[in-house]
Amino acid sequence: METDPQAICAQLNALAADASLLAPGNLAGREEALGLVEWAEALVRLRKWEDLAALRRRAGSLRRQLAQVDRALFDQVRAGIRSGALRGEALRARLDPFTRYRRGERGQVHAGYDALDRLVEGVLRLGRPPTAQRALDREMIQLELTPARAVLELVDSVPLGPGDLFLDLGSGLGQVTILVHLLTGARARGIEREPAYCQFARERAAELRLKGVEFLNLDARAADYGEANVAFMFAPFTGSILREVLDRLERETRARRLVVCSYGPSTATVAAQPWLRPLGPTAAHPYALATFASGESLDADS
């Protein structure tokens, strides 16, 4: 990136004059612009350009201006969810413009994040996650957020409605659980071992006035899977823990329909389960969403 202070100041001035950045839907453009703002502020600090007060002021002013547009967008979407106006297709219509994923594009590789994740982060106030209280066991994976477009593909691929129960195993900050409920109307339950994350997710759901969402502070090996229709995991654990959870899923849902959705490195282990069969094309990349069904599910769908 540019390191000449005069050139940086010219770029900041150009951004400040760019009216397109004030359009609420141009979240990606504002993210890119804020990257330059952060770069300018970092250079001022590191190089101690104390004589460049104008550059510092310009960067700070632009940051505040862009952040104000973002806050207004987040507040508007959050208010729509709280009122009940943004549910199902109405919410989907608000989300779709912020991502390159399109309905029906199954098997996409969802590596990295896009503007939709920034929108979800802002609406759900995920920017400052709590500090974990419990140490991870050796086979557990640290917190990482599922790209929101992978959740869109999930709800496009798996029929879900008010009569279903969706489980998110290792639900973290709760965004997958909340999004699935909002987009489908299904009851949604997050299972999360870390108490700080579980409480954080409960607060997010309460702020949005969601009745069909709950978060249980449990180890996935001790959870009750008896009512679940669909289970999702983004590699929350590996090895023997993953195998034990999959064994419990098989035992507790043997007599009825179960769809298992996997995203991330755990997919290879899920795909190897003899009691599961792929629904649709087999995922060729660990960061493509993969869906599987138990034998009972296949019989029910045939």
What's residue 1's pLDDT? 61
What's residue 118's pLDDT? 96
Q: Which amino acid is at 38?
A: E
What's residue 50's pLDDT? 56
DSSP 163-199: T-EEEEET-TTSHHHHHHHHHH--EEEEE-S-HHHHH
C-alpha–C-alpha distance, residues 122 and 114, integer Å: 13
C-alpha–C-alpha distance, residues 137 and 226, integer Å: 26
Nearest Cα to 94, choosing from 152, 147, 150, 145? 152
Q: What are phi and psi of 220, to 5 degrees?
A: -60, -25
Q: Which domains does the chain have, with CATH numbers?
A: 5-83 (no CATH), 95-301 (3.40.50.150)
H helix or E strand, kind and range, residue 133: none
Q: Per-residue pLDDT tens for 170-229?
A: 999 999 999 999 999 999 999 999 999 999 999 999 999 999 999 999 999 999 988 899
- The answer to whether residues 105 and 201 touch, using CB atoms and an 8 Å cutoff, is no
Order across the sheet with 276-278: list the strands: 213-216, 187-191, 165-169, 230-233, 259-262, 290-294, 276-278
Q: What is the largest CA-CA distance in the chain?
A: 73
Low-confidence stretches of the chain (pLDDT < 50) are 297-302
What's residue 287's pLDDT? 94
In this structure, the number of other CB atoms found within 10 A of the CB of residue 216 comes to: 17
- The answer to whether residues 212 and 151 touch, using CB atoms and an 8 Å cutoff, is no
What's residue 16's pLDDT? 86
What's residue 41's pLDDT? 80
Helices (H), 84-184: 88-95, 115-124, 148-157, 175-184
Counting every residue, how long is the chain? 302
What's residue 301's pLDDT? 46
Q: Per-residue pLDDT tens for 279-293?
A: 977 767 899 999 999
In the chain, DSSP finds a helix count (H) and a strand count (E) of 11, 7
What's residue 170's pLDDT? 96
pTM equals 0.89
Q: How many CA atoms lie within 13 A of 142 on its CB side?
A: 4
H helix or E strand, kind and range, residue 277: strand 276-278
C-alpha–C-alpha distance, residues 29 and 66, integer Å: 10
What's residue 299's pLDDT? 42
C-alpha–C-alpha distance, residues 290 and 288, integer Å: 6
What's residue 48's pLDDT? 58
